[in-house]
Amino acid sequence: MISKAKISFIKSLHSGKGRNEAGLFIAEGTKITNELLINQNIKIQSLYATNDFLEENNLLSNNNFEVFEISESELQKISLLSNPNKVLVIAEICKNKFDVSKLKNKLTIVLDNVQDPGNLGTIIRTMDWFGIKNLVCSETTVDVYNPKVIQATMGSFLRIKTHYVNLENFIKEYFSKYKYNIYGTLLNGKNIYKEQLTQEGLIVFGNESKGISSNIENFITNKISIPDFSKSKSIDSLNISIAAGIVFSEFKRTT
């Protein structure tokens, strides 16, 4: 049995305000939970699971976190998924201290005001596939601990370091330190298929409808575009996470 107070506490973590106050976030489903259980960096606070998950995973003793057995219908009450999958975990938000010098000799992804949780989660999942480890987001970008982001990463949030910063100050400091290329995807950029792409620097993606904001665009040294093969005037853009996938592929293809 799960108490009403617990249900209301878990639901409070659906919002950014609730997560900040508690320093906790929600992850759901067997795949992400199994990754959390073996992860050394994230501390689990509590785990709510159905009987069959608990039997499969032998979790009822020797844990540093509370374990609650709940019914399917109780899981439905605390879950954000339309089809909850056996288990919901509450874990501690881990704030990495950000240090620009960690980005030396690396490709780093920068998101300027990305709003859709599915897009952020999918971008993190795709970065993981392509072995790109660092993500820097504007303070206006959707929270990586939003449950919809966590689910869309399919566990990849555990392997990608995500930082929220004042983007303009960050880019200034980064560029003055390294002088690496600062790539930005813009509609009027150069054909990405024909560019010499470096294996260090920033790749900036902008907001879903407004693109990269003008104060950030000023710092872009290399404007790039994915060519439009449509010959149609109606289509105006690719989905941002699709564009990111193609751009990551182009940067990695030639290595």
The site for a second copy (CB under 8 A) is made up of: 35, 118, 122, 125-126, 128-131, 154-156, 158-159, 193, 226-232, 234-235, 238-239, 241-243, 245-246, 249-250, 252-253
Nearer to a second copy among residue 70 and residue 226 (C-beta): 226
Task: Report residue 41: phi and psi, to 5°.
Answer: -95, -25
Provide, rounded to whole angstroms, the least separation between the CB of residue 131 and a second copy: 4
With tokens 């949780």, the residue in question is: 117
Mapped onto helix, strand or coil, the DSSP state of residue 198 is: coil
- Pairwise CA distance, residues 125 & 160, whole Å: 9
- Pairwise CA distance, residues 227 & 215, whole Å: 25
Nearer to a second copy among residue 62 and residue 230 (C-beta): 230
Nearer to a second copy among residue 154 and residue 165 (C-beta): 154
Nearer to a second copy among residue 216 and residue 225 (C-beta): 225
- Pairwise CA distance, residues 9 & 19, whole Å: 10
Provide, rounded to whole angstroms, the least separation between the CB of residue 35 and a second copy: 6
Nearer to a second copy among residue 99 and residue 236 (C-beta): 236
What are the tokens at 76?
């439905």
- Pairwise CA distance, residues 59 & 135, whole Å: 33
The answer to whether 153 and 191 are in contact (CB under 8 A) is no
Provide, rounded to whole angstroms, the least separation between the CB of residue 77 and a second copy: 21
**CA 4 → CA 9, 11, 18, 78, 228, distances in Å?**
9, 11, 17, 10, 53
Nearer to a second copy among residue 6 and residue 159 (C-beta): 159
- Pairwise CA distance, residues 205 & 212, whole Å: 6
- Pairwise CA distance, residues 182 & 203, whole Å: 6
